[in-house]
Structure 1
Amino acid sequence: MSWDVLLLHLPDDVASVQDIPDGFSPHPLGSQRDVLAAVARAAPEADLSDPAWGELCGATWSIELNIGADSPVDTVMLHIRGSGDDVLTSVTRLGRALGCKALDCSTGKVLADQEPTGWHAFQNYRDRVTGVLPD
């Protein structure tokens, strides 16, 4: 189970999926090569040996980066697992490196820089449905 965050170009006035105009199609993030280079600059510790599926790990969390094999890359999906608010720093850094917004797929809202509400809600839900109690 993962907390999914979509990195994509959105108009400045979009704060949630409800604000996205009908028929909207985001501008690509760039070629796969350019996206991989931006990710490598933002997170040099990322494993990008599989260019379609990168991985970034912290002490208590991991992020799978679904970049895809197509070029140009329209979006990058982050599949985030674990715990610890420091993962939000990496999400913010990746979004900035790609010049895009981060959309919390569970709430439908654009993430503000390092705003933990959606991440905390996901962890609470995950722990409740799996029966795992936090430390």
Structure 2
Amino acid sequence: MSWDVVLMRLPADVTSVHEIPADYTPDPLGRRDDVRAAVTQACPEADLSDPAWGELSGPTWSVELNIGSEDPVDSIMLHIRGSGGDVVTDVFRLAEALRCKVLDCANGDLITPVHTSGWEEFQEYQDRALGPSQ
């Protein structure tokens, strides 16, 4: 079970997936090698030994980075598992390095450093479904 968010370029005024124009095509994040370099610079501890999938781990959480095999890279899907608020710091570090926004796939809203309710909601759901994490 994971909380899924996507890193992508969106218009400045968009706050929800429902506000994205139907004909909108996001600018790519960059060439695959450049995207991987930006990920490494933002989070040096990320394991990018697989060119299409990366891994990032914290003390109580893990993140799979689905970079994909397309070049250029249009977006990165993050599959976040575990608990603890510090994972959000790394998510925004990646978003800043890639100059993109973070879209919560569960509720369709953008998350920001001050609006991370999707992560808290996921943790509450996870605790109900699986029991509190240790």
**TM-score scaled by length of structure 1:** 0.95
Structure 1: gaps of 5 or more residues:
none
1:39·1:97 contact (CA, 8 Å) conserved in 2?
A: yes
Q: Which residue of 2 aligns with 1:103?
A: 103
What is the CA distance between 1:74 and its match in structure 2? 0.3
2:8·2:100 contact (CA, 8 Å) conserved in 1?
A: yes
- Residues 43-79 of structure 1: CA deviation (Å, up to 9, x unaligned): 0000000010000000000000000011000000000
Alpha-carbon separation, structure 1, partners of 2:39 and 2:114: 18
After TM superposition, list the pairs within 5 Å mapping 1:4-23 onto structure 2: 4-23=4-23
After TM superposition, list the pairs within 5 Å mapping 1:1-135 onto structure 2: 1-113=1-113, 115-130=115-130, 132-134=131-133
Aligned residues: 134
Structure 2: gaps of 5 or more residues:
none
- Residues 24-46 of structure 1: CA deviation (Å, up to 9, x unaligned): 11110001000000000000000
Q: Which runs of 4+ in 1 moved over 6 A?
A: none
1:14·1:20 contact (CA, 8 Å) conserved in 2?
A: yes
Alpha-carbon separation, structure 2, partners of 1:62 and 1:114: 21
Residue type at the aligned position of 2:132? L
RMSD: 1.1
Aligned-partner SS, 1:76: strand
Alpha-carbon separation, structure 1, partners of 2:114 and 2:8: 17
2:83·2:133 contact (CA, 8 Å) conserved in 1?
A: no
**Identity level (%):** 58
Alpha-carbon separation, structure 2, partners of 1:72 and 1:113: 27
